[in-house]
């Protein structure tokens, strides 16, 4: 039993020393994903696409809201309502109810579409940043290149964000201009 305990402690000590030695040689870096999205050409393109969708849907929603407000003002104007026949009054109330339902549907579609567009933008950027980060990791012989969000603090010298952004921009230029060639 003593030999087993001694053997177990020896193995544990060797594993700990080995892990400590490996951890001391571990080279890591960090990338700020938010900066990659905000500052890279691809990120700006994706954000512009998102803003365009947001604007188009917002305009359609605003048009429906204005139409709804116009009918609501008519329904609240007693003089206007007194001048209508009972069938015209009923028709106006039905139109208001129908527009209210349509507006609610537009609103739901608007938020759903915005969520989908935002998710797509983040997914595209995550995939591209991951690919470029792998290249940067290999180039600098890093064991890990982590997202800045995964840590509380790190030395400025471990920040590879600008290099990742440059690589993202280069990949964007190559993709969008056939005359630009990849420099590796």
Q: pLDDT in tens for each of the 184 residues of the chain?
A: 655 554 454 555 445 544 444 556 789 999 999 999 999 999 999 999 999 989 998 998 999 899 999 989 988 989 888 888 999 889 999 999 999 998 999 899 999 999 999 999 999 999 999 999 999 999 999 999 999 998 898 889 999 999 999 999 999 999 988 675 654 4
For residue 145, what are the β-bridge partners?
Answer: 29
What integer pLDDT is reported at residue 139 of this predicted model?
Answer: 96
Q: How far apart are CA 74 and CA 93, in angstroms?
A: 10
27-176 is classed in which CATH architecture?
2-Layer Sandwich (3.30)
Say if CB 141 and CB 25 are below 8 A apart: no
pLDDT score recorded for residue 3:
57
Phi and psi angles of residue 64, each rounded to the nearest 5 degrees, phi first: -65, -40
pLDDT at 184: 46
C-alpha–C-alpha distance, residues 41 and 31, integer Å: 17
Q: How far apart are CA 40 and CA 52, in angstroms?
A: 18
pLDDT at 179: 73
Assign residue 146 a region: left if phi > 0, alpha if psi is -120 to 50, beta otherwise?
Answer: beta
Contacts of 10 (CB under 8 A, 6+ apart): none
Q: How high is the pLDDT of residue 64?
A: 87
What local confidence, expressed as pLDDT, does residue 23 receive? Answer: 54
H helices within the chain, ranges in order? 2-25, 33-39, 41-76, 78-82, 86-139, 161-176
Q: Which residues pair with 31 in a beta bridge?
A: 147
Two tokens at 125?
Answer: 């950027």
């Amino acid at each position: 039993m003593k030999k087993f305990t001694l053997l177990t402690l020896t193995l544990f000590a060797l594993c700990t020393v080995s892990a400590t030695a490996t951890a001391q040689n571990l080279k890591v870096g960090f990338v700020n994903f938010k900066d990659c999205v905000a500052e890279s050409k691809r990120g700006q393109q994706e954000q512009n696409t998102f803003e365009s969708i947001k604007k188009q849907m917002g305009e359609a929603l605003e048009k429906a809201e204005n139409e709804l407000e116009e009918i609501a003002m008519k329904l609240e104007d007693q003089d206007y309502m007194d001048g209508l026949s009972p069938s015209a009054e009923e028709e106006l109330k039905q139109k208001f109810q129908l527009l209210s339902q349509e507006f609610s549907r537009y609103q739901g579609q608007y938020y759903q579409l915005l969520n989908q567009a935002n998710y797509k933008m983040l997914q595209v950027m995550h995939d591209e940043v991951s690919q470029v980060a792998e290249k940067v990791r290999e180039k600098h012989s890093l064991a890990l290149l982590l997202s800045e969000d995964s840590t509380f603090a790190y030395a400025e010298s471990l920040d590879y964000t600008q290099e990742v952004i440059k690589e993202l921009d280069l990949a964007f230029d190559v993709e969008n201009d056939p005359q630009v060639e990849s420099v590796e």
